[in-house]
Structure 1
Amino acid sequence: MRIITFATLGILCLTWISGASDLQDRCDKLSQGQLQSVIEFLAADVLEGRAPGTRGGELAEIYMHSLFKQLGLKSRFQPFTLHGFQLSALNVSAWGRELLFLEDTVGSYTRAENQFSIEGDVVFAGFGIRTSLWEWDDYKKTDLRGKILLVRVNDPGLFIPQIFDGSTLTYFGRWIYKIEEAAKTGAAAILLIHTTPTAGYDWQVVKNSWSGEELYLPASLENDLKFRGWIREPSLKSLLAENKIDLEKLYRKSLSRKFRPMDLGFKIRISGRNSSRQLRTRNVIAEIPGSSGKSIVLSAHIDHLGRDDQLEGDQIFNGAIDNGSAVAAMALIARIFADAGKELHYGLTFLACQAEEAGLLGSKYFVANSKREEIAANINFESTPVWEKSLDAFAAGGRYSTLEEAVRLVAAAQGLGYSRFSLTDQGLFYRSDQFPFAQAGIPAIWLSAGEKFASGRNHIAEFFKGGTYHTVKDEYNPAWELESLRQTVKLAVGLIEHLNRTRELPRWKARLTFPVQNPEGKSVKTINK
C-alpha cells in the first residue's frame, strides 16, 4: 500500500488546478534560438527603433503579420490615423528670461503651424486632479480658458499616505491624465513640473521620450490645449524666483482639499518651430477561435522611440527589452497554441499594437473598435525579463480582479511564488497596454516572471531605474539567458489553460482606483465591488 503524504497530496492538487500539460511542457522545450529570434530581429538597427509611421515601424508590422501567417493563424492589419507633431525649436520665456529647449523644457505643439507663439497668464493648478473617488478637485470650476497651467506630477498620496493610494501612484497622478483634464478646462497650454521622485524617472527619460515626433489620435486634439509639455523643477524655481514666488509654498498649498487654482500674476510666452503630418499606422491582429464567442486578448506593443539624429554616436533606440522581449513572449505563446491545434472555450486574440510609447494609442484604438462583451480578459506583456530564472511571478493590476488568484494557482503549480510588483510608485499599470482594457471595464493584467531572481538581483528594477529604460542602451544581447522569458511564456500558457478548463469568466473583485469608460468613451462612475 502506498502512503500519500500531505505534501504529495498538495502537489497533486496544484497540478490538477493548473492543469500541467503537454502545452506547458512545450515551453520547457523551446530552444535558445526560438527564444532569441523575435527579439533579435525587432531590435536590429535596420528597423531604426520601430517608430510608428516610419520604415522601421512598417517593417515591424509586416514582420508580425508574416509571423502569424506562418503559424497558420488568421492575421489582419488594423489601420488607424494619427497626427504627428515635432518641434525643431522651442522658446519658453518670462520677464525676459528664456529657458533652453531640451535642457529646461520639452513639449509638443498640436496644431499644423510651422511657427507658433502662445502667451497667457500663468496659473498654478496644483496636481490638476478632480475625482469624486477621493473627493478631490483642484479646479473648482475656475475659468481657465486661454491660461497656461503649471501642474504637479503624481498625486497627493505620495505626500499624505492616508489619502489616495498612499505611495502607490494612481492613474490620477499620471502625466497623461493631467493633460486630459487640462484639455477639459479650455486652457491654452500645460507645463508639467518634473522631479525624478514624482515622475518616477529622471529628466533624461522625459527628454528622450519628448524630443522626437509626438503622436495623437485625432479625437484627442478636439480641444483648445495647443501646447503640452514639461519643465524641470530647478528651472521653474529659478524663473519664479525672478518675481519672488516660492514654489515650495505653492506645493504646500496644493496638499489641501481646499486648494484653488492660483493666478501667479505674470505671463509666459511659448513659441517655436513645428512640423506636422498625418500618418497611417497599423495594429496587427491574429486569432485562434474558441467555442464561447469570447476571447482572451494577448497584447504586446511593437513600437519604440525610433532614432534621434541629434545624438552623437548611437542614435537608435532599439527597444530590445521594451518591447522586443514582450513581443517574443506573445509570439511564442501563439506558436504553442497554433501547433497544438486544441479546441478552446475562450478563443485567443493576439494583438501586436502600435504607438504605445505615444500614450497607448494602438491599444486604445483596438478597444474602442471592439465589442467589449466578446473580450473575457486581457493578458499584456511589457518589457518581459530576459535574464536568469525567477523564483516568483507578478500580475500588475491583478489585485483588482480574480485574475490574480488564477495567476497565484498557476505560479504555485509551476514551483513559483507570487509577489506584487514592487515598482508601484512608478504607475506602470497605467503606462502599458493592459490599461485601455481595464479602463473599458475588462479585467486586465501585465503578466511576467517576477523580481526575485535566483542570484538575488532585481534585474527588472535595474532595467527601469538603472539607466537603460528609454535609452539607446536597450539593445539585444546574445548572452542573455532568457530563462525568465521562458517562465513568462509558461505562466501565460498555464493561465490560458486554467481559464479555459474552469471556464471561469474573470471579474472585478476590488474597488477600481481609475475611471472606467462606457462604450461611447465617456467616463462613468468608478466600479466598486
Structure 2
Amino acid sequence: MAMISRTNFGHKAWARFGLRAGQWAATTALAASLAACATMGRGSPPAMAGNGTPEIPIDTMKEVTRTLSSDAFEGRAPGTEGERKTIALLKERFAAAGLQPGNNGSWVQKVPLIEMTGADYSPMIVKGGGQAIRLAPGDDYVAVSYRVTPETRIEDSEIVFVGYGINAPEKGWNDYAGIDMTGKTALILVNDPDYDADTLDGPFGGRAMTYYGRWTYKFEEAARQGATAALIVHDTFPAAYGWNVVQSSWTGAQAYAQTADDGASQTRANGWVQKPMAERIMTMAGQDLAAMTAAAKRKGFAAVPLGVTTSFGFDSAIRRFESNNVIGVLPGSERPDEVVLYTAHWDHLGRCKADETGDDICNGAIDNATGTAALVALAEAHVKAGAPERSIAFVAVTAEESGLLGSEYYAANPVFPLDQTVGGVNMDALSLAGPANDVVVVGGGKSELDAYLDDALGELGRTATPEPTPEKGYYYRSDHFSLAKRGVPMFYVESGEDLIEGGTAAGAAAAADYTENRYHGPQDEYDPDWNWDGAEQDLRLFYRLGRSLANTGAWPNWLDGDEFRRIRDESCAASDTGC
C-alpha cells in the first residue's frame, strides 16, 4: 500500500473542505479576523490593463486529466512505467503549447530520491534516578533517520526539554538560548506557543499556525542546534491529527530527496512520542509536563536538561532511484531573467489497497491530474496571449505524495535562481463541483501577494474566504511551501466553498463525498459527467495572478514580521540582478 505523505498527513484541498453546514458559522468570527489581517501592509499590484483573460482551453483540461488518470498510467507513482508515460505526455503537451524546454535545453530536471525502510526497532529505554521506562515502537514512539545509513543507534543521550523548539530572531525568541545540544535529544512540543488562542493575535499568529509550529521546522532547527535526536510530543489538538496518523505515516517505506551529504547534517533520528509517555518521562525527571508547557508559552523560556537519558535504535534498508520534474518556460519579452512560477505535482500513489471490486490503481484524477492538466491549459493560454514582460515557468514536480520531494529538490537546486523568482501559483486538486462565488485563501495575510489576489478577484466578481482552520497549518503542506520557506512569495488559493448552485451546504457535501469516497483511493477516477465550470473559473483567476506578476517590475515581499521575510530580505540583499 502506498505511503501517506508525512508532509501532508492526508491533506488535499477537497479533504480540507469537509465542513458540515453547522460548522460553517463557527468559523465566521475567525474568518473576519483573518480577512482584516490580509488587508494590512500590502503593496498595490500593477493595473491589469491589456492583461484580460483569454479563453481557457477546457478541452485541454479534460483531455489531459482523462489521459493522466487512465489505468494505462497506473497511478503515476515515481520510478514506474506510469512516470515514464507521464513525463512523455508532459513533454509533448508543453512543446505543442509553444513552451521551450525549461532546464538549459532539457524538459526535465532529474530528481535523485532515496527510499529508506526501517526494521528491527528496539524499545526506547529512558533512564534516570534509578528508574527506567520502556516505550514500545509504533505504539509509544516512532522514529526515522534522515541520514542515509543502514543502522541508527542512540545510546544514553540526555533528554533536554526545549519547549516549542523555536529560534526566531525576528521575534526575539530562542528556546535553545544558552544550551549546547551536542549529543543530546531534544524533546519538543508541537505547534506554536499561542496555538490555543481564540483570535489571530499573538507572537506567532495566535490560532493560525506559522512555519515554526510545523514538525518539519522543529526537526530542521534541532539539527541546526547540533542535537543527536529530536522527539516531538504528540498531542491531538495542536497536531491536528491523531496518533494513528503519525503511526501509519512514520512506519514503512520513507522517501527523501537525495542531498550532497546524504543527510549527514541532520539529526541521527527524528520521531514522535505519545503524550502520556512524555508525561511519564517528565515525572521521572521530577517535572510536570503541563507546568513546563505553560512556561514554554512565555518569551524568555530557557531549555531544561531533564537529567534522564534515552536509548533506542533501528536498521534501514536503502533504495536509490531517480524521478523527474518537468519544466517548460515562456520567455519574457523584456526581462526574461525574472521568472514567475506555476507549480503542480504530477505524481500520485500508483498501486494501492484494492477496493471491493479488486481495483488497486489509485488513479489520482482530481489529485492531481487536474492540477497537472491546469499547467498545460495555462501554458496554452499564456502563449496565445503572447510573451509577457517576465518569463513564466511551468513546473510539474514529482513525489509530492512522498513529502513534497520534487518541489524540495527544485527549491534546493533551482533551475531559475530564487532571487530572480518573483513569486508563483501552486495548484493542487481542483474542485469539479461547479462554479463558486468565492475562493479559499490559504495563508492569507502573509505577503504583498494579497493585493494582487484582491485585484484579480474584484475584476472576476469573486470574493476571498479565509481558510476556516488556520491552526492546522495547511499553507505548509503543499509544494509551494518548498519555495516559500526559501523566501519566494507563493499563492495557495483553492476552489471556493460557496457554490453558485447550492451555497456552502452544497460545497460541504461535495467535499465530504470526495473525502469519504474517493480521496487517495481507487475511486478517484475521471468522470465524463464532471462540471468543469468551476475549474474554468479558477483557471481564469490563476491566469490573471500569474500574468499580473509577469507584467510588473515590482517584487512583492512577505509582510513585516512574517517568518519568511528575513529569508527573502537576505536573499535580495545578496543579489546584484534579482529582487
TM-score, normalized by the shorter chain, greater than 0.5: yes
Q: Which residue of 1 aligns with 2:541?
A: 491
Q: Which moved more, 1:354-363 or 1:411-420?
A: 354-363
Matching residue of 2:152: 116
Contact 1:387 1:481 in 2 (8 A): yes
Question: Does the aligned pair in 1 maintain the 2:518–2:524 contact within 8 Å?
Answer: no
Query: Which whole-Å CA distance do the structure 2 matches of 1:18 and 1:419 have between them?
Result: 26
* 2:179 is aligned with 1:151: no
Equivalent position SS for 1:269 = strand
Look up the SS of the partner of 2:445 in the other structure.
helix
Distance 1:469 1:30, change over 3 A: closer
Q: How does 1:383-394 map to 2 (within 5 A)?
A: 383-394=429-440
Question: More deviation in 384-393 or 236-245?
Answer: 236-245
Tell whether 2:364 aligns with 1:333.
Answer: no
Q: Structure 2 vs 1, CA of residues 342 and 522 (structure 1 numbering), >3 Å: closer, same or farther?
A: closer
Q: Distance in 2 between matches of 1:469 and 1:254?
A: 41
Q: Residue 213 of structure 1 corresponds to which residue in structure 2?
A: 254
- What is the match of residue 129 of structure 1? 166
1:317 is displaced (CA, Å) by: 5.4
Distance 2:326 2:476 in 1: 22
CA contact (8 A) 2:254 2:402 kept: no
Shift of 1:179: 0.8
Matched with 2:175 is 138
1:85 aligned to 116, 119, 123, which one? 116
The aligned amino acid for 1:366 is Y
Instruction: Determine which structure has greater relative contact order: mean sequence separation of CA pairs < 8 Å that are 6+ residues apart, divided by chain length.
Output: 2
Alpha-carbon distance change, 402 to 514 in structure 1, aligned in 2, over 3 angstroms: closer
Q: Residues 342-369 of structure 1, C-alpha deviation per residue, up to 9 Å, x if partnerless? A: 2322222101112334554433433443
SS of 2:171's equivalent in the other structure is coil
Residue identity opposite 1:223 in structure 2: S
Partner residue of 1:472 out of 516, 521, 524: 521
Tell me which amino acid in the other structure corresponds to 1:62: A
User: Can you list the C-alpha shifts for 1:442-462, whole angstroms capped at 9, x where unaligned?
Assistant: 332123332323321354995
Quick one: which of 368, 377, 392 aligns to 2:423?
Answer: 377
TM-score by length of 2: 0.76
CA RMSD of aligned residues (A): 3.6
Distance in 2, Cα, partners of 1:38 & 1:377: 26
Query: Is the contact between residue 52 and residue 355 of structure 1 (CA under 8 Å) also seen in structure 2?
Result: yes
CA distance in 1, matches of 2:153, 2:477: 31
| Matched-pair contact (CA < 8 Å) for 2:355–2:522 | no
1:171, CA displacement in angstroms?
Answer: 0.9
Letter in 2 for 1:30: I
**Matched AA of 2:162:** A
Q: Is the 8 A contact 1:19 1:497 kept in 2?
A: no
Whichever residue aligns with residue 150 of structure 1, its letter is L
Give 2:26's aligned residue: none
Counterpart secondary structure, 2:302:
coil
Aligned residue for 1:279, secondary structure, equals strand
Aligned equivalents of 1:510 and 1:96: distance in 2? 46
Offset of residue 500 of structure 1: 5.2
Moved more, 438-447 or 510-519: 510-519
Structure 1 residues 34-433: aligned runs within 5 Å = 34-44=60-70, 47=73, 49-75=75-101, 76-94=107-125, 95=132, 97-101=134-138, 103-119=139-155, 120-159=157-196, 161-211=201-251, 212-219=253-260, 221-223=263-265, 225-237=267-279, 246-292=288-334, 293=336, 294-305=338-349, 318-338=363-383, 340=384, 342-367=386-411, 368-369=413-414, 370-397=416-443, 399-433=445-479
The alpha carbon displacement at 1:180 in A equals 0.8
| Secondary structure in structure 2 of the residue aligned to 1:228 | strand
Do 2:194 and 2:297's aligned partners in 1 also have CA atoms closer than 8 Å? no
Ranges in structure 2 where 5+ consecutive residues have no aligned partner? 1-46, 102-106, 126-131, 575-579
**Corresponding residue for 2:4?**
none
Q: TM-score, normalised by structure 1?
A: 0.82
**Structure 1 unpaired stretches of 5+:** 1-15, 525-529
Residue by residue over 1:57-111, the C-alpha shift from the partner in whole angstroms, topping out at 9 and shown as x without a partner, is 444333322332333422311113333322134334223624242x443332234
Give the 3-state SS of the residue equivalent to 1:156 in structure 2: coil
